[in-house]
Amino acid sequence: MNQLIWSTVIIAFLCAFLLTWIPVMLIVERRAAAWMQRRSGPNRVGPFGLMQPMSDAIKMIFKEANIPRKANKVLFVMAPALAVLPPFIAMIVIPLGGSVNIGGTEYAFQAFDVRVGLMFFLAITSLHVYSVLTAGWASNNKFSLMGGLRAASQMISYEIAIGISMVSLVMTYGTLDLREIVKLQEAGGGLPAWGAALQPIAFIVLWICAFAETNRLPFDLPEGESELVAGYHTEYSGMTFGMFMLGEYAAMVAASAFLATLFLGGYNIPFVSEEALRQFFLNHGLVLTAASAVTVLLQFASLVAKICFFMWIFVHVRWTLPRFRYDQLMDLGWKMLLPIGVANAIGTMIVTYILRRGT
């Protein structure tokens, strides 16, 4: 029962954490775009324009959320909700830190410690495509429908590459448990045991696929402005559109956390193990609960730093690379990433077999 209360607390914390990212990313993205294009960007609201997200949010909430007359109303309203839910649900399996010792029991800093966490994350994020599909269809608009169909084929194609590159990673670590994967990276002694060092090809393939799965440039064909007006969210206005924005940024945070967990050592701080850190604080006069709590917070800060890195790359790529053409996108998915992933999986299989036979 205590575990249930603890999980509830962490889920509340996660919601707050994910929602905090949205205003931060709004201002970062607009200022970064301005910086790269040598403009000033939004700098009027508040000091350095920092209150711009606030005014955006107020504007969105008070605008009318228009529902087109010929739209399918139930699905039209359902689609933005479906866009927001999957990233929030998927985040519950990400280990956010080590464990906190409360009253002699170790509580893992993770909402749902499941043994198939890796596949759980993939399964829940694969549901994201429904929001795009239903939004595109329910709007009763040909541009929206085109956007929805493009999104569906794009996301399904890239999911296959994700699955294949996951296979090689799972073979390397021998487990599907995300916490276990982080522990193995920590036990290997920091950087050399990170997934990015052991499986660089899988890392790059998965990173590219993360762009495609979150519909960010250069893979934002479902919402390509120059071709499809605004793609699947053409008909959305006010807060219904705001929900799509929210879902996109939450999906980016979730994908970054997932990549960090698998390939950059998750919550662990390079070259510093959890026991050493906790022992350090114990030696400096903290009680066990406080020492473990401080350790976990430091580890969480490390995870946040890694997420920041990935988020910055997301923003940087958006304002650097041009959009793909549709056939180039499909060619990249099916003729480049998938064969590379398969080759990587077969190579990993052979190497793992040889290494295991040696012992």
Could you give phi then psi for residue 172, rounded to 5 degrees? Answer: -65, -45
Distance CA(4)–CA(113), nearest Å, equals 12
- Strand, helix or coil at 107? strand
Cβ atoms of 331 and 155 closer than 8 Å: no
**Per rule CB under 8 A, is residue 7 in the interface with another protein?**
yes
**Per rule CB under 8 A, is residue 235 in the interface with another protein?**
no
Other residues' Cβ atoms within 10 Å of the Cβ of residue 8: 11
- Answer for which of 15, 58, 156, 321 binds another protein (CB under 8 A) is 156
**Per rule CB under 8 A, is residue 176 in the interface with another protein?**
yes
**Per rule CB under 8 A, is residue 181 in the interface with another protein?**
no
Distance CA(62)–CA(60), nearest Å, equals 6
- Answer for which of 25, 42, 109, 159 binds another protein (CB under 8 A) is 159
- 16 burial type by CB count under 10 A (0-12 exposed, 13-18 middle, 19+ buried): exposed
**Per rule CB under 8 A, is residue 152 in the interface with another protein?**
yes
CA distances from 301 to 14, 97, 110, 185, 213 (A): 14, 9, 15, 17, 26
Give the x-and-dash track for 283-322 against another protein (CB under 8 A): ----------------------------------------
- Answer for which of 19, 28, 149, 286 binds another protein (CB under 8 A) is 149
Sign, Cα dihedral of 81, 86, 264, 106: positive
Query: Of 12-51, which residues contact another protein (CB under 8 A)?
Result: none
Report the residue number, 90 or 307, with the smaller CB distance to another protein: 90
Selected range binding another protein among 152-160, 179-187, 241-249, 340-348, rule: CB under 8 A: 152-160
Query: Of 82-141, which residues contact another protein (CB under 8 A)?
Result: 112-116, 119-120, 122-124, 126-127, 129-130, 133-134, 136-137
Cis peptide before 68 (omega within 30 of 0): no
Residues that bind another protein (CB under 8 A): 1, 3-4, 7, 72, 75, 112-116, 119-120, 122-124, 126-127, 129-130, 133-134, 136-137, 145, 148-149, 152-153, 155-156, 159, 176
